[in-house]
Chains A and B, each alone.
Chain A
């Protein structure tokens, strides 16, 4: 049996004292959390430990003794043996370190008094070759802050046995109150742990924490106002609903409202995933605003808005003049009507970028959609005409060959003429046949023209759709990218752990094996996969083959349909 002892690095140079920690149930290992120094009163130690137990739900016990003899304090050994009677354990660890040597000496005293030692040379008939002790050193602060992936929720799967590593991480994370006592506290106990040199605190962080609660409450109240406004009956009429579902600005604003609800809720995040989600949304939002302000500062400098307005009018005019004459007239009159206002409109619309870059992109997408509405109209005309023509041609082609479409059987049958005079099948003879042939000829010869118009309008529409798709994809990307998680992964990689790796520190005979435990950070791809904010992703819903088939037949294509339910 191998006994594993997890020893914090901060206690490597601690003075002699008692080891406080937790035995991992089910595995033969122990986690050392702190060292309580001499002098102490055993009753107060027990009282403190039971207080902490009720606070942290971690079963803290005295594991054993730690001795690092300095000058003038040699006579501790006998003292240590006595202590094992005061704090009854099934195993009492005796770790000691000599100055100058790297390895520790470890002795384990079992309940029945049997002594286990890790010695390289053993007598033949001791029979304890399987009993080894491994000391694993770990960085206490990093393990405390780290989250082991894959993340398991506390509520579910509580009956499944956790792995040893997960239990170690959980123990250290849950025993935070143990680390609140530092060397400046005037208490009866003196502890050594990672924070014993002085607790980290910053006034700004504390002030922010205090201030955030009323700010959150205020913002939540504002959000509820917004929701109340959105719940007006008039806004639920069908035309308004339809338009607002098509405009990406409304979609994006609705989406942001949901985000804000998550971020500004005054409740503290209970689980790790909730916390990460909140943090991700918040950081993304800040970045969004920053980019939007950057855009504004670039756009409004050097009078760019008026330059844009000046070029927009003739361009729109020229574009409109290249199409059907009736639409030309409509559009050019519309543009000329609007031209004095365009600069103003652009100026105010551009200010919407202060709500975030995603907003500006959504507004751009909507403007493009509105400006190219005539292209959409022409595309629909051309596509419908082409579709009708293809349909007519295919059915008349069947007539040409003398076959009919059997609706009942959903198949093509040949037209059979009955010779019997009484039941002559006169439906196809002779008039419909002639007219059918004439129509077929006409449709066939008009096919090149219609096909060409359809091709041109479809290509234009595809260009517009592509542009809108690029914008939507980038908005989607900004919305869903877990910036906070990636930042955490880069700056503090130990917070998101995938596992651990061990390094051999010291393997001397006569001392147990010393291993250094280092945290393996999560891979970036796993970070992205795990922490992506769920979005209304608008991936194309047709495969390439289906798209080509639709284009050929003349069906209308809407490649960027919004999915109505969230994808997680």
Chain B
């Protein structure tokens, strides 16, 4: 490599790593300081296990959210849950959550007034209620398997594209995918009121809950793990009442996600080998003709 042996370099003028001055060296000449400025792993963070576990709680709780949603849907489809009851529960949860949100974020300047919030909520509810008969018969011509497959894909997409790093802003794709999937599922329910209830529930679970969670994390750090654990337990329990094996699978998945993956992450950090730095031009001195045969 062109480190030391430069073509007849006069020792009088020292070589400088600049190209805007004419030097008696060729442009790709580097002296013995070749790759001196190379840096390795400058941005590698040192993870601590329990911190990572704490962060993973967010992913786990999001998966459990989906599980809760599916449980509610399943009960409604079987007819065990009355839609009006679910509706009342959703409404009270929404009000509770709104109140909590306000309490936690008291010191911040509000960018949206309460009137605007009320307005958007009313419009959304009216719109969904008006369109629920249409939504109910939307997938009548589609077979059940297709509907289930579509919803599964959409909810998976929601999980994959969820902005875990900045959950306060619901990423467009994740929210849209979740709503699409919930519309597909809701259209299989027996009545128009069921559809409306399902959509309100979906809005609550997928759009409003992450905002509240983020606010809780910001303001009351201690409450976040408890909330995550609560949601996970609710998910597992709900699934268990429907399909015990599924619950087992879910709990296994959650445990893997929460406990095993951070371990893997921390363990593999030491094998990280990133190189950064200003690059120097290399001159190949080897005989490369052996690669041609």
Q: What are the interface flags for B108-133 relative to A under an 8 Å C-beta threshold, 1 for contact and 0 otherwise? A: 11011000000010011001100100
A285 CB–B CB distance under 8 Å: no
CA distance A268 to B147 in the complex (A): 82
Assuming the contacts A435-B127, A445-B138, asked whether A400 and B176 have C-beta atoms less than 8 A apart, the reply is yes
Q: Which residue of B lies closest to A401 (CB)?
A: B173
A194 CB–B CB distance under 8 Å: no
Assess the B175–A437 pair: CB atoms within 8 A: yes
Min CB–CB distance B46 → chain A (angstroms):
27
Assess the A430–B172 pair: CB atoms within 8 A: no
Min CB–CB distance A429 → chain B (angstroms):
7
Instruction: Chain B residues near A401: list those with CB within 8 A.
Output: 172-173, 176
Within 8 A of B (CB), among A404-445: 415, 417, 419, 421-422, 424, 426, 428-431, 433-438, 440-442, 445
Q: What are the interface flags for B270-281 relative to A under an 8 Å C-beta threshold, 1 for contact and 0 otherwise? A: 000000000000
B169 CB–A CB distance under 8 Å: yes
A402 CB–B CB distance under 8 Å: yes
Q: Which residue of A lies closest to B175 (CB)?
A: A433
A239 CB–B CB distance under 8 Å: no
Q: What are the interface flags for B126-158 relative to A under an 8 Å C-beta threshold, 1 for contact and 0 otherwise? A: 011001001100110110000000000000000
CA distance A438 to B170 in the complex (A): 16
Q: Which residue of A lies closest to B122 (CB)?
A: A431
CA distance A430 to B203 in the complex (A): 10
Assuming the contacts A445-B139, A448-B141, asked whether A438 and B172 have C-beta atoms less than 8 A apart, the reply is no
Assess the A431–B135 pair: CB atoms within 8 A: no
Task: For A421, give its contact among B109, B123, B169 (CB under 8 Å).
Answer: B109
Assess the B207–A438 pair: CB atoms within 8 A: no
Assess the B135–A442 pair: CB atoms within 8 A: yes
Assess the B171–A402 pair: CB atoms within 8 A: yes
CA distance A438 to B127 in the complex (A): 9
Instruction: Chain A residues near B135: list those with CB within 8 A.
Output: 438, 441-442
B183 CB–A CB distance under 8 Å: yes
B179 CB–A CB distance under 8 Å: yes
Scoring B108, B109, B138, B199 by chain A CB atoms within 10 A of each residue's CB, the highest score goes to B138
Instruction: Chain A residues near B203: list those with CB within 8 A.
Output: 434
B180 CB–A CB distance under 8 Å: yes
Assess the B170–A430 pair: CB atoms within 8 A: yes
Instruction: Chain B residues near A446: list those with CB within 8 A.
Output: 138
Task: For B124, give its contact among A419, A434, A445 (CB under 8 Å).
Answer: A434
Min CB–CB distance B206 → chain A (angstroms):
10
CA distance A401 to B112 in the complex (A): 25
Instruction: Chain B residues near A434: list those with CB within 8 A.
Output: 124, 179, 203, 207
Q: Which residue of B lies closest to A426 (CB)?
A: B112
Q: Which residue of A lies closest to B180 (CB)?
A: A441
Assess the A442–B179 pair: CB atoms within 8 A: no
Instruction: Chain B residues near A419: list those with CB within 8 A.
Output: 166, 169
Assess the B138–A441 pair: CB atoms within 8 A: yes
Assuming the contacts A421-B108, A442-B138, A448-B141, asked whether A433 and B128 have C-beta atoms less than 8 A apart, the reply is no
Assuming the contacts A441-B138, A448-B141, asked whether A431 and B172 have C-beta atoms less than 8 A apart, the reply is no
Task: For B172, give its contact among A415, A445, A448 (CB under 8 Å).
Answer: A415
Within 8 A of A (CB), among B186-207: 199, 203, 207
CA distance A338 to B254 in the complex (A): 77
CA distance A431 to B128 in the complex (A): 11
Scoring A422, A435, A437, A440 by chain B CB atoms within 10 A of each residue's CB, the highest score goes to A437
Instruction: Chain B residues near A433: list those with CB within 8 A.
Output: 170, 172, 175-176
Q: Which residue of A lies closest to B178 (CB)?
A: A437
Assuming the contacts A428-B172, A430-B170, asked whether A437 and B207 have C-beta atoms less than 8 A apart, the reply is no
Instruction: Chain B residues near A448: list those with CB within 8 A.
Output: 141
Instruction: Chain A residues near B180: list those with CB within 8 A.
Output: 400, 437, 440-441
Within 8 A of B (CB), among A432-466: 433-438, 440-442, 445-446, 448
Assuming the contacts A437-B179, A438-B135, A442-B134, asked whether A430 and B111 have C-beta atoms less than 8 A apart, the reply is no
Min CB–CB distance A77 → chain B (angstroms):
98
Min CB–CB distance A461 → chain B (angstroms):
26
Task: For A438, give its contact among B111, B141, B179 (CB under 8 Å).
Answer: B179
CA distance A426 to B120 in the complex (A): 12
Instruction: Chain B residues near A435: list those with CB within 8 A.
Output: 123-124, 127
CA distance A157 to B120 in the complex (A): 81
Instruction: Chain A residues near B138: list those with CB within 8 A.
Output: 441-442, 445-446
Scoring A438, A440, A446 by chain B CB atoms within 10 A of each residue's CB, the highest score goes to A438
Scoring B127, B142, B176 by chain A CB atoms within 10 A of each residue's CB, the highest score goes to B176
Task: For B176, give its contact among A417, A421, A426, A437 (CB under 8 Å).
Answer: A437
Q: Can you give 19 contacting A-B residue pairs, CB < 8 Å? A: A400-B172, A400-B176, A400-B180, A401-B172, A401-B176, A415-B172, A424-B111, A431-B124, A433-B175, A434-B124, A434-B203, A437-B183, A438-B131, A441-B135, A441-B184, A445-B139, A445-B142, A446-B138, A448-B141
Q: A437-B179, A438-B127, A445-B138 are in contact. List 13 more A-B contacts (CB 8 A).
A: A400-B172, A400-B173, A401-B173, A401-B176, A402-B176, A424-B111, A426-B111, A430-B120, A431-B120, A431-B124, A433-B175, A436-B176, A438-B128
Give the 7 A-B residue pairs with the shortest CB-CB distance, closest first.
A402-B172, A431-B120, A437-B179, A445-B138, A441-B183, A400-B176, A437-B176
